Amino acid sequence: MKNIGCIIQARSGSTRLPKKVLMKLPYNSEKTVLEQVINRVQKSNKINDIVLATTNAKEDDIIENIGEKLGVKIYRGAEKNVLKRFYNAAKNNKLDIIIRITSDCPVIDWEILDELIKKHIQDNNDYTSNVLERTYPHGMDAEIFNFSVLEDAFLNSTEQYEKEHVTPYIYKTHPKKFKIGVLKSNYDNDISRLRITLDTQEDYTLICTIYDYLYNEKKIFKTDDIIKLFKEKPWIFNINKKVNQKRVCANLEEEITEALALLEKQDLNKAKKYLEEKYYEAK
């Protein structure tokens, strides 16, 4: 029988919102964002092991303490080379199939994780994700891959972005090398544009508001509950509407395209025009 494990990527440091996974959720409660993530993953019917993969930094001792308190396994490793940290966490715990989620998604839905596992195994995929084609809200993101595929990425990744983001070697650099699957939802397009992940204070305000409406210690709310809330009170989701989702860029062309989009969104038209002229003039 395959050993299916979920590795939760967690650290205290964050460029946009330091110590975000240690923020209280619900607001002013005793629980942290990280605890909520772990509690939700523990509801899965298909995951055998949960491993909290954090760094060797002293500031992440508290991450280890939270994991131990909730009874999950701990692996501590490299801060910058997250791929190495993931590989060693999977290898040390003898995982055959790995689900990857990040600790800044405190509305992650265990039923979606179970659907992802089911599809991955049924289709005999190397890698399966619900993000390559966006049909779920941001914050329900998950990837699943076989250990042999993770090992391939670990041994052969050369670019910094491949090592920082764990899986780009699979789906971005060498997509033809692997059998890749996509889990799609039946939600409307407006649902897939929702952002329920934690990177900014605006995100935190929105997620606290969602928890104020839906949180119950005895019954964990699901994606359908969030969608119902969105349809009843769509104004809530305007709180973080202007926050931009970070993208994984493989080259300068992709970074320039992303920068131009950000400048346009902020109405920085002169800067946008200058960058366009200088970049395309140099090509």
**CB contact at 8 A, 35 and 108:** no
Average confidence (pLDDT) over 88-104: 98
Give the pLDDT confidence score for residue 154 in this predicted structure.
98
Q: Is residue 143 domain-resident?
A: yes
Give the pLDDT confidence score for residue 15 in this predicted structure.
79
Give the pLDDT confidence score for residue 242 in this predicted structure.
74
Average confidence (pLDDT) over 172-194: 93
Could you tell me if 128 and 262 lie in one domain? Answer: no
Q: Is residue 212 domain-resident?
A: no
Give the pLDDT confidence score for residue 279 in this predicted structure.
61
Give CA separation, 80 vs 13, 86, 121, 153, 160, in Å: 11, 11, 31, 16, 9
- Domain boundary at 154, 189, 224, which? 189
Give the pLDDT confidence score for residue 254 in this predicted structure.
60
**Which has more pLDDT, 180 or 218?**
180
Q: Is residue 245 domain-resident?
A: no
Q: Is residue 75 domain-resident?
A: yes
Could you tell me if 133 and 259 lie in one domain? Answer: no
Average confidence (pLDDT) over 98-105: 97
Give the pLDDT confidence score for residue 234 in this predicted structure.
94
Could you tell me if 132 and 256 lie in one domain? Answer: no
Q: Is residue 198 domain-resident?
A: no
Could you tell me if 180 and 263 lie in one domain? Answer: no
- Chain mean pLDDT for the chain: 91
| % of residues, the chain, pLDDT over 70 | 87
Q: Is residue 230 domain-resident?
A: no
Tell me which amino acid residue 166 is.
V
Give residue 171's domain range: 4-189
pLDDT digits (tens, 9 = 90+) for 227-269: 999 999 999 999 988 776 565 455 666 666 666 666 666 666 7
- Domain boundary at 139, 161, 189, which? 189
- Domain boundary at 189, 205, 230, which? 189
Give the pLDDT confidence score for residue 11 in this predicted structure.
95
Q: Is residue 206 domain-resident?
A: no
Q: Is residue 67 domain-resident?
A: yes
Average confidence (pLDDT) over 180-199: 92
Could you tell me if 134 and 274 lie in one domain? Answer: no
Give the pLDDT confidence score for residue 283 in this predicted structure.
59
Give residue 126's pLDDT band: very low, low, confident or very high (50, 70, 90): very high
Give CA–CA dist 136/192, Å, rounded: 5
Q: What CATH number does the domain containing 159 carry?
A: 3.90.550.10
Give the pLDDT confidence score for residue 246 in this predicted structure.
60
- Total domains, the chain: 2
Average confidence (pLDDT) over 221-225: 96
Give CA separation, 123 vs 43, 77, 111, 149, 180, in Å: 24, 32, 18, 16, 10
**CB contact at 8 A, 204 and 106:** no
Give the pLDDT confidence score for residue 210 in this predicted structure.
98
Give the pLDDT confidence score for residue 143 in this predicted structure.
98
Give residue 70's pLDDT band: very low, low, confident or very high (50, 70, 90): very high
Give the pLDDT confidence score for residue 277 in this predicted structure.
66
